[in-house]
Structure 1
Amino acid sequence: MAKLTKKQKEAASKVEKNKLYSLKDASALIKEIASAKFDESVDIAVRLGVDPRKANQMVRGVVTLPHGTGKDTKVLALVTPDKEAEATAAGADYVGLDEYLQKIKDGWTDVDVIITMPSVMGKLGPLGRILGPRGLMPNPKTGTVTMDIAKAVQEVKAGKIDFKVDKTGIVHAGIGKVSFDANKIQENANEILQTLLKLKPTAAKGTYIKSIYLSSTMSPGIALDPKAV
């Protein structure tokens, strides 16, 4: 096991073991224990009482964080020529079609979100093995396959993120930066927690939200009280 640095030990000492924090207190504490020289990302990890191997217990959704993610999301708009001006005006970082399809085939995936049109999805099928594992495959359920390209680009740029439960039953999401005010971290975290509650599968039995942890890039996790959500 790697040894903790002096700063990491100091941060860990401020987080009480076995204590379940309120979202408000955890949002303030995460700022206090962040020690890196860069603006650390703030993440939330929620363990759900679901079996993701069963289709009727898969939890997936989208949420627009009220204060954005704090990072500049790089968007690729794979669109036909008649939609290129619309995508560019909305703020897409890369706009085009065939040349970007070729770049992806050659291994380029330096984007955060890909937005496309229904008529283009057929061309993306063969790229599934490249895009799928990186979470980049556009999906109508997350609003990334649409004819309203401008709206989709603007929403992603404003802080819209999609999430899904992983095979271990955990939902991970980046919800901001430690430079955010504590109340903004709290409101972003609350937005995703309330969205998860609405997405509870009817097939899920027992405790739905089992545990919640808030952490930053270099900090220890802070346990939240799931009953307080």
Structure 2
Amino acid sequence: MTVTEVDLNADMGESYGAWVLGDDLALLDVVTSANVACGFHAGDPSTLVRTCRAAAQRGVVIGAQVGYRDLAGFGRRFIDVAPEDLYADVIYQIGALDAVARSQGTRVRYVKPHGALYNTVVHHAGQAAAVVRAVRDLDATLPLLGLADSALLAAAERVGIRTISEVFADRAYTAGGTLVPRREDGAVLHDPDEVAERAVAMVTTGEVLSQDGEDVQVDAESVCVHGDSPGAVAMATAVRAALEDAGVTLRPFVS
């Protein structure tokens, strides 16, 4: 689907204690939506307060980036968690971040899975259903941000939850429209010009060139740039500039 208006999101709030990851303040000057960690895969309470405060000051929309309970693995390892446990974990994470956000004059406006959970709920019906049920039972007005044609978005649509399809400017795609696993060479892109060019193509033509050299159809309602990637701010800035130069309006998908 070709669009002339799109959201630009990035992962942030992922620092923990003495470990600083990404430049959240600089990214918040570029993006329109912030996927903020909830403490399970990354993010300590002080980091989350600072991130939510800075987002509120800039008018950036906050989303809860829910993940597996996996600090050591940064949430990038699959966990065969029982659906009932995942359901509870997702409710807990959204509720915790929303409390932090409200204390800083804003609130959680959408939900996006993180890392291995994000990739798992593309195909894993049980875990996708657990995430959707948690959002529905907590606040069914919260949109779910995810990959087009995923089990997650299909399950959300079945219960009337709004879905937002996103694309990844700095990740390689398979011919099947999924993300190339991070363990494979070339899975993560680092050149700002290349990343910006791909973002414009995805938004304006609805297509992206896969790692296999095939054109893949994508649905770009939101464009993601990973906040933990080296040069994330430069890439996000290049993406925003290129989209605006192409006549695309940048604005969050929720007001």
Q: Which has the higher contact order (CA 8 A, sep 6+)?
A: 1
Q: Which has the larger radius of gyration?
A: 1
